Amino acid sequence: MGDPLIWVLTVAVFVTVFALLRLRAENEALRDELENVRADSELGAGEPSHGPMDPAPAPAPPRGDTDEQEASAP
């Protein structure tokens, strides 16, 4: 079967190459998105080309304080 160290090193090389390929693909996608945003800002568009982002939800009122305030209100 061979030396176990050879197998460990082989797997480590494959994992490293796979990780580098994923990072390269992600980098290209981010570069394309950045180019789109720059093009939109040069044209004066208000929103990026991928569409508007969802607004943040409103914060929830604190618990416990609302009941006491309503009970003490005249």
CA distances from 17 to 6, 39, 41, 55 (A): 17, 33, 36, 39
| Alpha carbons 69 and 62: distance in angstroms, whole number | 11
pLDDT at residue 46, rounded to an integer: 56
**Helix ranges restricted to H, the chain:** 4-43, 65-72
pLDDT in tens, 7-62: 999 999 999 999 999 999 999 999 999 999 998 888 875 555 555 566 777 777 77
Residue 63 pLDDT class (50, 70, 90 cuts)? confident
Parse the chain into domains and list their residue ranges.
1-41
